[in-house]
Amino acid sequence: MNNSRRDFIKRATVTGAALIAAPAVFGAEAGKKKQKVQDAVAPFKLKYAPGFGMFSEHAGADLADNIKFCHDMGFRAMFDNGLMGRPVEEQVKIADEISRLGMELGPFVLYADFSVTSFVLNKPEIREMLINKTKEGVECARRTGVKWALMVPGRYDERLHRDIQTANVIDNLRYVCDIAEPAGLIIVLEPLNTLRDHPGLFLTGVPQTYAICRAVNRPSCKIVEDIYHQQITEGNLIPNIEAAWSEIAAFHCGDNPGRNEPTTGEINYKNVFRFIYSKKYDGVICMEHGISNRSKEGEARVIQAYRECDNFEL
Confidence class of residue 17 from pLDDT cuts 50, 70 and 90?
low
* Predicted pLDDT at 128: 98
Interval 35-48 mean pLDDT: 72
| Cβ burial, residue 239 (10 Å; 0-12/13-18/19+) | exposed
Question: Which residues, other chains included, contact 46 with Cβ-Cβ below 8 Å and sequence gap of 6+?
Answer: 273, 276, 277, 281, 285, 310
User: What amino acid is encoded at 240 in this protein?
Assistant: N
* Predicted pLDDT at 226: 98
Residue 29 has pLDDT above 70, yes or no: no
Residue 2 has pLDDT above 90, yes or no: no
Question: Nearest Cα to 70, choosing from 87, 51, 83?
Answer: 51
Helix H, strand E, coil C: the string for 258-280 is CCCCCCCCCCCHHHHHHHHHHCC
- Between the CA of residue 194 and those of 16, 120, 259, 288, what are the distances in Å? 39, 17, 15, 17
Quote the pTM value: 0.89
Mean pLDDT of the residues in the chain? 91
Confidence class of residue 6 from pLDDT cuts 50, 70 and 90?
low
* Predicted pLDDT at 20: 45
Region of 47 (left: φ > 0; alpha: ψ -120 to 50; beta: rest) is beta
How far, in Å, CA of 305 to CA of 205, rounded? Answer: 27
Residue 22 has pLDDT above 70, yes or no: no
- Between the CA of residue 156 and those of 77, 118, 152, 237, what are the distances in Å? 34, 8, 11, 25
C-alpha angle with apex 21: 20 to 24, nearest 5 degrees?
A: 130
* Predicted pLDDT at 260: 98
For residue 28, how many C-alpha atoms fall within 13 Å in the half-sphere facing its CB? 0
User: What amino acid is encoded at 108 in this protein?
Assistant: F
**pLDDT tens readout for residues 75-132:** 999 999 999 999 999 999 999 999 999 999 999 999 999 999 999 999 999 999 999 9
Indicate the SS3 state at residue 149: strand
Question: Which residues, other chains included, contact 148 with Cβ-Cβ below 8 Å and sequence gap of 6+?
Answer: 106, 107, 108, 185, 186, 187, 188, 222, 224, 249, 250
* Predicted pLDDT at 8: 45
| Cβ burial, residue 305 (10 Å; 0-12/13-18/19+) | buried
* Predicted pLDDT at 15: 47
**pLDDT tens readout for residues 226-265:** 999 999 999 999 999 999 999 999 999 999 999 999 999 9
**pLDDT tens readout for residues 175-232:** 999 999 999 999 999 999 999 999 999 999 999 999 999 999 999 999 999 999 999 9
Domain definitions of the chain by residue range: 44-310
Which CATH superfamily does the domain covering 44-310 fall into? Answer: Divalent-metal-dependent TIM barrel enzymes (3.20.20.150)
Does residue 98 contact residue 104 with C-beta atoms inside 8 Å? yes
